[in-house]
A and B are shown apart, each in its own frame.
Chain A
Amino acid sequence: MTELLIHIGIMVFVYAILAASLDLLFGYTGIVSLTHAAFCAVGAYTAALLATKFGAPFLIGLVGGMAGGSLVSLLVSLPSLRLPSSYCLVTTFAFQVIVFSILNNWVAVTGGPMGLPGIPQPVILGWRVDQPWEFLILAGTCAALALWVCTHIVRSPVGRALKAIREDEGTAVAMGKNVFEFKVMVFVLGAALAGLAGVIYAHYVSFVDPTSFTVMESIFILSIVIIGGAGSLWGPVVGAVVLVSLPELLRFVGMPSSVAANVRQILYGGALVACMLWRPQGLMGEFSFRKNENP
């Protein structure tokens, strides 16, 4: 039971990082992106390749994973962020599909559907992280750092510019803000944090394969942000606690494992739709994504 709780705790921290970084894009800047699982995948695969093929230490993998996520996001953001919002969503969706195809079909590098096994336990300045509770501390520390970065950005003048872009892009341009530059900056930062989550995930499960980074995973991360509350610092954390813990409750219902995964996806999708219809600001959010309801 304790091991299960620790596992849930680690996954909550991983998803809290992903959701908080996506909230910078979605909640504070108003960019709907479906590429976050792909950025996480780039981080995870970069760290896995560095560790297994080159024997690189954890910290090098961490930096490499975050840099990899950032570089790929730069590639995504340059064509996407110039487009209107619904086209931007389509292009991010397209990138997610392309990254998944590469992971699944470029067998020589990514291992294809078989993935990359044997990712070693991290060693940080002589501290070997091999017990579950040690991973909990590592994931918690990284989540706290990610939230600290997000908090500082949101409360800085940059954060106010991002909110201005979210509320009315035309007005932000008229005020002399370089909207495209701000959007690219927040996109790259969000991807770097997603890469960080990917590195922790890869070292924790010691195996990565493409099925962990599908478009459904991106929808799940968005669901966490929306249900927790977009445009709020604690919303993604609350969302991660609720949505990561929820499937564990299904274990106690006695549902057959063959349908449990499908039921979980239905619950996530249903919660997202219900939230958009009846409580678009989520549990703790301040922004509702409706034209007439924001102050």
Chain B
Amino acid sequence: MEVYVAHSHRDDTEEMMLLLVNYTLHSAAVLCMVALSLRLCYGFDRFYNFSLAGCFTLSSFVLQSALGTWGTSLFVGLSLSVAAAGGLGLGLEILVFGSLRNRGARPDVSMLVSIALSAIVVNIVAILWGDETRYFSSALSWKSTANWFALSSPLTLSMLGCWAGSLLLVGVWSEFSRSGTALRAMTSSLDLALPLGINISATARTVSVAAGIIAGIAGILAGADTSISPNMGFDAAMGGIVVAILARRLSVLRLAIAATFVGALYTAVGYFFRAEWANAGAFVLLLVVLGLRSCGKSARAGVLAE
């Protein structure tokens, strides 16, 4: 009897550990991809483009409709949702952010506009699809029970694959392509990029499409992991901003480490307190980090200078 109890206890602990590891990995993958998209735009605009939360939400709702209501295949559904996310990113860049950049708007004001735009997208999605929580159809029901195979379930593998793939692609693109070089030059100095012959608006549009697509894929993965609702992008963008600021710059390794750390924090807060405290917990961490960075040697070195 004692042996049985011990085994049962060990099984429960093991199951719980697996669930926690799984949850951390899933959160880290989604947060890292959102942070990557935010960091891409931050490079030249110097603000965290919150409207990417709209791309995050829109792609998952388009995929849900494509698979459920329109009855398309998974490939067509994924293509449609990624196109919608990229299109939204491009549209907002052309209509709003390019215009604000040309008119010399301050970064904080541009960020405020991006928050307002994400609120607009969230409300449009709520009107079109309704406020209630939805789930993907069986084509994306990839979850498996909590056992050792959970870490190799299709969902976890897809998440880890997309996470690593997006980081690798952005790393290679920014290092070796012409537009990636242009982005790095714009990140260093937007004023100097123009005399160097860099087409700022074309590069910004390319980056916006890429950022929109990455945020959109993150939205699809988050939707497949849990559920989809109009506000999902808002929550993800809040976590993404924390990761992007902790990572400090567009570095593949830094983003991966920061995302894993924040993912673990989400898991710990959910386990020891309540999942509703997760974003608040992440923001407390952010405030501590920013508070430390804004004083002492870090402040003198100007690491937060815009």
- What residues of chain A have their CB less than 8 Å away from a CB belonging to chain B? 32, 34, 79, 82-91, 93-95, 97-98, 101-102, 104-105, 215-216, 219, 222-223, 259, 262-263, 265-266, 268-270, 272-273, 276-277, 280, 289-293
Task: A85-B306, A273-B116 are known; give 16 further A-B pairs, CB within 8 A.
Answer: A32-B109, A87-B304, A91-B286, A95-B287, A215-B115, A219-B116, A265-B119, A266-B123, A269-B117, A269-B119, A272-B116, A276-B113, A277-B100, A277-B103, A289-B105, A291-B106
Q: Do A97 and B123 form a contact, CB below 8 Å, given A90-B241, A219-B115?
A: no
Whether B287 contacts A94 by the Cβ 8 Å rule is yes
Whether A84 contacts B305 by the Cβ 8 Å rule is yes
Whether B287 contacts A79 by the Cβ 8 Å rule is yes
Complex: A280 Cα to B111 Cα, angstroms: 14
Whether A86 contacts B100 by the Cβ 8 Å rule is no
**Number of chain B residues close to chain A: CB under 8 A:** 45
Q: Do A105 and B287 form a contact, CB below 8 Å, given A86-B306, A292-B104?
A: no
Interfacial chain B residues near A90, Cβ < 8 Å: 48, 111, 241, 245, 286, 290
Interfacial chain B residues near A270, Cβ < 8 Å: 120
Interface of B is mostly: helix
Interfacial chain A residues near B153, Cβ < 8 Å: none
Complex: A269 Cα to B284 Cα, angstroms: 28
In the assembled complex, the CB of B225 is this many whole angstroms from the nearest CB of chain A, namely: 22
Which residues from 105 to 157 on chain B have a C-beta closer than 8 Å to any C-beta of chain A? 105-109, 111-113, 115-117, 119-120, 123-124, 126-127
In the assembled complex, the CB of B268 is this many whole angstroms from the nearest CB of chain A, namely: 16
Complex: A254 Cα to B124 Cα, angstroms: 19
Interfacial chain A residues near B109, Cβ < 8 Å: 32, 276, 280, 289
Interface of A is mostly: helix
Of A83, A89, A95, which is within 8 A of B304 by CB?
A83
Which residues from 58 to 115 on chain B have a C-beta closer than 8 Å to any C-beta of chain A? 96, 99-100, 103-109, 111-113, 115
In the assembled complex, the CB of A222 is this many whole angstroms from the nearest CB of chain B, namely: 7
Q: Which 5 A-B pairs have the closest CB atoms?
A: A94-B283, A101-B280, A291-B104, A85-B108, A79-B291
In the assembled complex, the CB of B287 is this many whole angstroms from the nearest CB of chain A, namely: 6
Of A86, A94, A101, A276, which is within 8 A of B47 by CB?
A86
Complex: A292 Cα to B102 Cα, angstroms: 11
In the assembled complex, the CB of A149 is this many whole angstroms from the nearest CB of chain B, namely: 26
Whether B280 contacts A97 by the Cβ 8 Å rule is yes
Is B2 positioned at the interface, with any CB of A under 8 Å from its CB? no
Interfacial chain A residues near B305, Cβ < 8 Å: 84
Complex: A79 Cα to B299 Cα, angstroms: 12
Whether A290 contacts B107 by the Cβ 8 Å rule is no
Whether B100 contacts A276 by the Cβ 8 Å rule is yes
Q: Do A102 and B306 form a contact, CB below 8 Å, given A86-B46, A88-B108?
A: no
Whether B105 contacts A105 by the Cβ 8 Å rule is no
In the assembled complex, the CB of A249 is this many whole angstroms from the nearest CB of chain B, namely: 18
Looking at B23-31, B192-200, B213-221, B271-279, the stretch in contact with chain A turns out to be B271-279
Whether A84 contacts B120 by the Cβ 8 Å rule is no
Interfacial chain B residues near A280, Cβ < 8 Å: 105, 109
